[in-house]
């Protein structure tokens, strides 16, 4: 072994990377080479001085408290984001309902004009839909944002959204006109009922 | 210990402030040690060590819980130290000697009313001498030398902290060790 090889081996040995055989070779060489022996002893001393200096220094007193006091104050938004990340399903559901609710609400507000399902023989006067006397409307009748006055017959279901069934002053209240409906009659004027109706429509078709 | 740390980190991720306090108090000495050995000045070291913990806190979501937390934390600390050294590089080597002699800072870390035995003073002088010599190493050797003697870190872990291949870590340790041998052989 020459001195260059010996030097490389010294570092391997100090790293704990030398095999038993290599260590033995190194020991043999150090016995015969005073220069390498000196070099090795200096390295060994350096190592022990360094490991002596590696005793852990202490952080200044109050260090932890100082770190804690200097942590960025979490913005509310960050807090929400953290919560959303932790609860993806609830978040998805919340977003879905938010969209649902806003679209329903805007639809509710925008549909202020009267609309009626298309059937022949109906008369529309302002917000009043009239089924004239002697006329029989075939099929389901839907009136939205308007009142309905049935003087004739409706051969199907009647639904009034955001409106009333007009009672003929002379007739025996609306039972009289309800009698003229062959199918079911329902009146919806609450937003949830209205939303439920549309949702049901959506699902059944 | 590693498991307790993992448990605390889970809680920090859930937004538990107090859990982070546990982490800081557990690692404060090691992080401070690394940074102090890297930059040499105790005020600066405190500043950087604090910054390291704050960064760890704000980036805790990017920490992969399957890995070792200490490696991640030390990496933040060494990167911040190296950045700081880079910023003041022009004058750094000129006043490295002056900074290195700040042995007084180590006294100031001891309780004031505690009288120092004679030999402890002597060993303090030796320690500050060694500290000065470590600081006189170019930063790339300093990093591996400081980490090597801390916390039983393996060479592979040192490579991970400094983002260096294992071979490079070894070469730098050998080189740093040779440089220090020349400086410390007459101690």
Shared-domain flag, residues A90 and A129: no
CB B12 within 8 A of CB B21: no
Biggest CA–CA distance in chain A, Å, is: 132
Shared-domain flag, residues A129 and A197: yes
Share of chain B above pLDDT 70, in %: 81
Shared-domain flag, residues A197 and A128: yes
We find that the CATH architecture of domain B1-87 is: Orthogonal Bundle (1.10)
Q: Please, is A20 exposed, middle or buried when counting C-beta atoms within 10 Å of its C-beta (0-12, 13-18, 19+)?
A: exposed
Shared-domain flag, residues A157 and A122: yes
More confidently predicted of B100 and B37: B37
Please spell the DSSP secondary structure of chain B, one letter per residue.
-HHHHHHHHHHHHTT-HHHHHHHHHHHHHHHHHHHHHHH--HHHHHHHHHHHHHHHHHTGGGS-TTS-HHHHHHHHHHHHHHHHHHHTHHHHHHHHHHHHTTTHHHHHTS-TTSPPPHHHHHHHHHHHHHHHHHHTS-HHHHHHHHHHTSTT--HHHHHHHHT--HHHHHHHHHHHHHHHHHHHTT-
Q: What is the pLDDT of residue B107?
A: 41
Q: What is the pLDDT of residue B128?
A: 84
Distance separating alpha carbons of residues B147 and B159, to the nearest angstrom: 10
Range(s) of the domain holding residue A40:
3-53
**Per-residue tokens: B95:** 């006043």
Is residue A102 one of the residues assigned to a domain?
yes
Shared-domain flag, residues A40 and A25: yes
On chain B, the residues whose CB falls within 8 A of the CB of A15 are 155, 170, 173
pLDDT at B153 over 80: yes
Is residue A64 one of the residues assigned to a domain?
no
Shared-domain flag, residues A200 and A119: yes
CA of A65: which chain B residue's CA is closest? B21
Shared-domain flag, residues A82 and A101: yes
Shared-domain flag, residues A196 and A163: yes
Is residue A179 one of the residues assigned to a domain?
yes
B59 touches chain A (CB under 8 A): no
Please indicate whether, in this complex, the C-beta atoms of A46 and B150 are within 8 angstroms of each other. Answer: no
Q: Is the ipTM of this complex over 0.85?
A: no
A24 touches chain B (CB under 8 A): no
* Range of lowest pLDDT (A17-21, A93-97, B9-13, B103-107): B103-107
Is residue A65 one of the residues assigned to a domain?
no
Shared-domain flag, residues A106 and A157: no
pLDDT band at B94 (very low <50, low <70, confident <90, very high): very low
How confident is the prediction along chain A (205 residues), in pLDDT tens digits per residue? 888 899 999 999 998 889 999 999 999 999 999 999 999 999 999 998 888 777 667 888 899 999 999 888 765 555 666 677 778 888 888 888 888 888 777 766 655 567 777 777 788 887 788 888 888 888 788 887 788 888 888 888 888 877 777 765 544 444 556 677 777 777 776 666 777 777 777 776 5
Is residue A61 one of the residues assigned to a domain?
no
Whole-prediction pTM: 0.60
Q: What is the pLDDT of residue B108?
A: 42
Angle CA(B22)–CA(A63)–CA(B162) in degrees, nearest 5? 80
CB B176 within 8 A of CB A43: no
pLDDT band at B44 (very low <50, low <70, confident <90, very high): very high
Q: What is the pLDDT of residue B71?
A: 93
For chain A, the domain total comes to 3
Strand order in the sheet with A147-150: A123-125, A128-131, A147-150
Q: In angstroms, what separates the C-alpha of A99 from chain B's closest C-alpha?
A: 28
Shared-domain flag, residues A103 and A134: no
Q: What is the pLDDT of residues B165-175, one digit of tens each?
A: 999 999 999 99
Shared-domain flag, residues A138 and A184: yes
């Amino acid at each position: 072994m020459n001195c260059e090889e010996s030097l490389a081996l010294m570092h391997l040995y100090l790293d704990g990377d030398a095999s038993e055989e290599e260590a033995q070779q190194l020991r043999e060489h150090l016995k015969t080479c005073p220069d390498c022996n000196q070099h090795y002893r200096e390295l060994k001393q350096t190592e022990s001085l360094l490991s002596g200096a590696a005793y852990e220094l202490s952080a200044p007193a109050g260090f932890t408290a100082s770190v804690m006091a200097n942590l960025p104050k979490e913005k509310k938004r960050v807090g929400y984001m953290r919560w959303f990340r932790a609860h993806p399903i609830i978040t998805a559901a919340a977003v879905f309902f938010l969209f649902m609710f806003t679209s329903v609400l805007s639809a509710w507000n925008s549909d202020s004009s009267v609309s009626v399902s298309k059937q022949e023989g109906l008369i529309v006067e302002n917000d009043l839909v009239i089924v004239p006397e002697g006329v029989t409307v075939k099929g389901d009748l839907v009136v939205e944002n308007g009142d309905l006055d049935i003087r004739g017959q409706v051969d199907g279901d009647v639904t009034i959204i955001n409106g009333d069934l007009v009672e003929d002053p002379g007739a025996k209240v609306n039972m009289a006109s309800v009698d003229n409906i062959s199918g079911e009659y329902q009146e919806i004027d609450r937003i949830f009922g209205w939303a439920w109706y549309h949702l049901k429509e959506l699902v059944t078709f | 210990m590693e498991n307790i740390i993992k448990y605390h980190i889970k809680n920090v991720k859930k937004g538990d402030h107090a859990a982070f306090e546990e982490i800081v108090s557990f690692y404060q000495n090691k992080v401070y040690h690394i940074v102090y050995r890297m930059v040499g000045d105790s005020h600066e070291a405190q500043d950087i060590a604090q910054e390291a913990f704050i960064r760890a806190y704000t980036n805790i979501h990017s920490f992969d819980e399957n890995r070792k937390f200490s490696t991640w934390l030390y990496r933040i600390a060494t990167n911040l130290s190296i950045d700081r050294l880079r910023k003041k590089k022009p004058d750094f080597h000129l006043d490295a000697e002056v900074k290195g002699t700040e042995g007084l800072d180590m006294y100031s870390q001891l309780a004031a009313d505690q009288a120092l035995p004679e030999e402890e003073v002597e060993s303090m002088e030796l320690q500050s001498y060694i500290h000065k010599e470590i600081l006189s190493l170019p930063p790339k050797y300093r990093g591996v030398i400081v980490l090597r003697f801390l916390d039983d870190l393996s060479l592979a872990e040192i490579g991970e902290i400094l983002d260096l291949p294992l071979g490079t870590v070894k070469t730098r340790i050998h080189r740093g060790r040779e440089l220090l041998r020349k400086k410390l052989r007459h101690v």
